């Protein structure tokens, strides 16, 4: 059974803070993804990685960076959090050539 876990379910940070969101998958998947979900906008891809130390920008990478030092772990970093980054953040993983992605439970981030 595929399991994707995220470090926090709820997080409250102040404007200007550096924020780390961690994601771990236990299925040896090559691909990992970070999305944010906002009402009326669906899921939008921030960054993804198809191998260790590899990363590619998604549709909305501005204000974010990522790190993938180990295959099972993919971190999303908000260098200086802003109120417009208040959102639900979802991590997902998939096998290299597979379309189906498996999602974690999400982190509800509030920036005040």
Partner 1 sequence: DQQVKQNSPSLSVQEGRISILNCDYTNSMFDYFLWYKKYPAEGPTFLISISSIKDKNEDGRFTVFLNKSAKHLSLHIVPSQPGDSAVYFCAASARETSGSRLTFGEGTQLTVNP
Binding residues for partner 1 (CB under 8 A): 4, 9, 31, 33, 35, 40-45, 48-50, 56, 58, 90, 92, 94, 96-106
* CA separation for the pair 93, 71 (Å, rounded): 11
Q: Which residue, 106 or 109, has its beta carbon nearer to partner 1?
A: 106
Backbone φ and ψ of 84, nearest 5° = -75, 0
| Least distance between partner 1 and beta carbon 63 (Å) | 20
Alpha-carbon distance of 34 to 48, in angstroms, equals 6
DSSP assignment of 52-91: TT--EE-S--TTEEEEEEETTEEEEEESS--GGG-EEEEE
CB 104 to partner 1: min, Å: 5
Measured from the CB atom, the residue of 16 and 40 that comes closer to partner 1 is 40
Question: Toward partner 1, which CB reaches closer, 26 or 79?
Answer: 26
């Amino acid at each position: 059974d595929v399991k994707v876990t995220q470090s926090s379910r709820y997080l409250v940070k102040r404007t200007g803070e550096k924020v780390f969101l961690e994601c771990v998958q236990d299925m040896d998947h090559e691909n990992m993804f970070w999305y944010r979900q906002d009402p009326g906008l669906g899921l939008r891809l921030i960054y993804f990685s198809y191998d260790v130390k590899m990363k590619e920008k998604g549709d909305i990478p501005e204000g974010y960076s990522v790190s993938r030092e180990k295959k099972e772990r993919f971190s999303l970093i908000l260098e200086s959090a802003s109120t417009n980054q208040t959102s639900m953040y979802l991590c997902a993983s998939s096998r290299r050539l597979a379309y189906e992605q498996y999602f974690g439970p999400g982190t509800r981030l509030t920036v005040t």
